[in-house]
Amino acid sequence: MEQLNRIELRGNVGSVRLQAVGDKQVAKLTVATNYIYKGKDGEAVIETTWHNVTAWEGKNIANLSKVEKGDKVHILGRLRNQKFIGNDGVERTAYDVLASKLEILDEDEYLQYES
């Protein structure tokens, strides 16, 4: 059986932090995705999930210096977890998406995915 760890996100950039590592750039992004469903009362409920994304400069990664807060993005990658000890001594697990592809979408491209 083949093992698979793949994630696909389409959402809005909340924050971007660029950092130079050697001769490459790495971006730490937060990306919000929305899931819309009807509640018990029939009203639309929007559930927003925030994702931490790490993207290294590369051939399938958009020009990282052009990524800005509010941009609509399409990301392919894998889910990664890292365990660490917090300041209070409690072991925690952080989850992030390690991007293998990141593209900035214009409004038409974004809407195309919605239909």
pLDDT in tens, 18-57: 999 998 899 999 999 999 999 999 999 999 999 999 999 9
Does 5 have pLDDT greater than 90? yes
Residues 6+ apart with CB under 8 A from 110: 10, 72
For 30, the token pair is 């937060």
Question: Are the beta carbons of 14 and 33 closer than 8 angstroms?
Answer: no
pLDDT reported for residue 61: 82
pLDDT greater at residue 25 or residue 112: 25
Task: Give how far Cα 99 sits from Cα of 10, 37, 58, Å.
Answer: 12, 28, 10
Residues 6+ apart with CB under 8 A from 5: 78, 79
The residue that leads in pLDDT, 40 or 109, is 40
